[in-house]
Amino acid sequence: MFNLLNAIYQVGSWAIYLYIIMVFIYILISWFPNAQGSALDRFLSRFVDPFLSIFQRFIPPLAGIDFSPILAFFVLSLIKMAWTKLFIMLVQKLVLG
């Protein structure tokens, strides 16, 4: 039972880390005009744009610089912490009854 829970936790954790990396790469691509519109940019934009657009509604670009990814990284960190806390609570519940 605990092996299954550990596997689920690990898959979820890696998914969150992968998404953080995807957001980071997407932001880096935006700094290089030649990389914009590439296959990687189009692929990442399908997954990252909907998430970043949530934060772009609250934080408009200042002087042409988009600061919304900072809030996005913060929220992803909170999601990661909540994911970890959820599994700690679940394991404690199973162990302690």
φ, ψ at 17 (rounded to 5°): -60, -40
HSE-up (13 A, CA, CB side) for residue 90? 13
Report residue 94's pLDDT band, with 50, 70 and 90 as the boundaries. Answer: confident
Per-residue pLDDT tens digits for 16-74: 999 999 999 999 998 898 888 999 999 999 999 999 999 999 888 888 888 899 999 99
For residue 92, the surrounding DSSP H or E stretch is helix 68-96
Structure confidence by residue, pLDDT tens digits, 76-92: 999 999 999 999 999 88
